[in-house]
């Protein structure tokens, strides 16, 4: 059995579809469908069981999940809304829940790949996105909750207390199909596309943070690339002789920052030309807005992973090809 927590969400549902592409259907999907729109992300997906997150956590606590064998756990379940200020709720969902999943992975001798985030880096500038303590300065409780779990895992690594693969992937600015339910938390690719369809133009921020109009830069990473990284570290689809035990917390981004102007041009190549309107940057965001992100991939490459990330233009095109057929 393969377990995907957050399996009806954006990244989680794409993982389920990616497992299906590998011929894997023996999947337990764990999620909270209070937002029923997420169920649409699993249309066409094949899996054998579903559990509500709260039921799953109760079963973990009671030792009653009853699975004889777990091949891998891909832990995407978390509160990812960066606007949530309830620290108790955020720590319970992102830190305590992750510790429970980690303990279960160790007990079942199963690889665990979990979602961390580039939000741990806060307002770091160019050259400050390597996964080191000096660069980790989250701006909100979401980033803090993820960083605290990364620290917890690091301590276990140092003590030699992790006998199985455990890898934290620090996701950068993810985009792709199946994010429509995310609302304000959806990627700019999603929001810009909606603007193009509804208003016939696209709105970018005017100059801010030392960058000219629309020239703020982000590391945009295609969701399928993140799925392939999850499968790689979990050893899924690899011959037994090539499977290894990994202990790492690494960046999961393309390694190349791109401007918002470039994003707009990539979308126009799909949707057609539209005017660009530059709007004033909201001053209340100035101290908590990442004007620049770019994954340092040195630690990722040190693990032996040489995965080639999808260029922005190719990922944008594929996103809308998938949406057109789903």
Q: Annotated catalytic sites, by residue?
A: 142, 182
CA distance 273 to 90: 41
CA distances from 310 to 68, 175, 176, 280, 318 (A): 37, 12, 11, 31, 10
Q: Where are the beta strands (DSSP E) in 186-259?
A: 202-205, 217-218, 220-222, 247-252, 258-259
Q: Is 268 exposed, middle or buried (0-12, 13-18, 19+ CB in 10 A)?
A: middle
Asked if 260 contacts 188 with a C-beta cutoff of 8 angstroms, the reply is: yes
Asked if 115 contacts 76 with a C-beta cutoff of 8 angstroms, the reply is: yes
**Cα three-residue angle 235-98-20, rounded to 5 degrees:** 40
CB atoms within 10 A of CB 205: 20
Beta bridge partners of 278: 204
DSSP secondary structure string for all residues of 251-293: EES-S--EEHHHHHHHHHHHH----EEEEPPPGGGGGG--SB-
Q: Is 125 exposed, middle or buried (0-12, 13-18, 19+ CB in 10 A)?
A: middle
CA distance 41 to 33: 11
CA distance 287 to 289: 6
């Amino acid at each position: 059995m393969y377990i995907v927590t957050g399996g009806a969400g954006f990244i989680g549902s794409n993982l389920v579809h990616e497992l299906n592409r590998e011929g894997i259907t023996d999947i337990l999907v764990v999620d909270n469908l209070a937002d029923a729109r997420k169920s649409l992300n699993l249309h066409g997906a094949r899996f054998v069981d579903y559990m509500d997150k709260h039921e799953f956590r109760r079963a973990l606590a009671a030792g009653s999940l009853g699975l004889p064998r777990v091949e891998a756990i891909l832990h995407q379940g978390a509160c990812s809304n960066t606007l949530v200020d309830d620290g108790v709720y955020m720590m319970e969902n992102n830190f305590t829940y992750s510790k429970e999943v980690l303990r279960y992975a160790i007990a079942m001798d199963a690889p665990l790949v979990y979602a961390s985030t580039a939000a741990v880096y806060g307002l770091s500038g160019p050259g400050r996105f390597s996964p080191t303590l000096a660069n980790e300065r989250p701006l909100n409780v979401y980033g803090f909750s993820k960083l605290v779990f990364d620290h917890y895992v690091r301590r276990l690594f140092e003590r030699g207390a992790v006998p199985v693969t455990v890898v934290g992937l620090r996701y950068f600015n993810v985009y792709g199909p199946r994010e429509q339910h995310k609302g304000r938390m959806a990627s700019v690719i999603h929001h810009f596309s909606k603007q193009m369809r509804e208003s016939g133009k696209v709105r970018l921020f005017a100059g801010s943070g030392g960058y000219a109009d629309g020239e703020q830069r982000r590391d945009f990473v295609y969701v399928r690339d993140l799925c392939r990284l999850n499968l790689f570290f979990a050893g899924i689809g690899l011959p037994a002789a090539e499977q290894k035990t990994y202990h790492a917390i690494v960046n999961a981004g393309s390694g190349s920052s791109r401007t918002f102007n470039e994003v707009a041009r990539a979308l126009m190549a799909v949707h057609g030309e539209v005017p660009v309107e530059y709007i004033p940057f909201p001053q209340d965001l100035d101290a908590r807005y990442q004007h620049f992100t770019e994954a340092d991939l040195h630690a990722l490459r040190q693990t032996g992973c040489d995965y080639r990330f999808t260029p922005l233009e190719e990922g944008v095109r594929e996103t809308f090809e998938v949406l057109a057929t789903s």
